[in-house]
Amino acid sequence: MALRTVRIVNDDILHKVSRPVVQVNDKTRQLLDDMLETMYHYNGVGLAAVQVGILRRLLVIDVTENGTNPVEFINPEVISHKGSQTGWEGCLSIPGQSGKVVRPAVTVVRAINRFGQPFEMRCNGQLAVALNHELDHLDGVLYTQRAVEIRRQGEEEDG
Ligand code: ZN
């Protein structure tokens, strides 16, 4: 495993649309491992491949406090959204600030796992927030484009 460099907000790549993963292989699994290591290293709860400079539709999430439940999504597709929730989000690509964003309360998603097998997952709570935040990254959208309020670090506890 290896740490990857996280792209920061002024990098144009963050505004580009990621392409689907064509084949899940050892290189894919290596990338997922590196993304998880990088996410944990920087105390993030989610990371999309584009954030480490790879324009492919992969993301990793772990919303547990001790980092014990990593979830990986390859080529994720939303099946349905339900309800809404509002909370504060941060982003490893946008250091030093957080934003208040409205997200679905529940999102059902279909994706492929690291062995190339399809699965479906029903996500709610923080997992739904993180999932929708990361799905936006795959389409070149940052939370700052959706936020109803932005705060610099020190003004508000990050939610
Ligand atoms: Zn982000």
The pLDDT tens digits of the residues spanning 90-134 come to 999 999 999 999 999 999 999 999 999 999 999 999 999 999 999
Nearest to 74, CA basis, from 3, 7, 22, 139: 22
Tokens 């689907």 — which residue? 20
Mean pLDDT of 18-46: 97
Selected catalytic residue, list 37, 77, 89, 134: 134
- pLDDT computed for residue 49 by the predictor: 98
Q: 112 with 75: CB under 8 angstroms?
A: yes
Dig out the tokens for 110 from the structure: 């279909």
Flag whether pLDDT at 21 surpasses 90.
yes
Distance 19 CA to ligand 1 centre (A): 18
Q: 97 with 90: CB under 8 angstroms?
A: yes
- pLDDT computed for residue 159 by the predictor: 42
Tens of pLDDT, residue by residue over 5-17, are 999 999 999 999 9
Distance 142 CA to ligand 1 centre (A): 7
Q: What is the CA radius of gyration of the chain?
A: 15
Domains, the chain, ranges and CATH? Answer: 12-152 (3.90.45.10)
Distance 93 CA to ligand 1 centre (A): 6
Mean pLDDT of the chain: 95
Bridge partner residues of 112 (DSSP):
74, 118
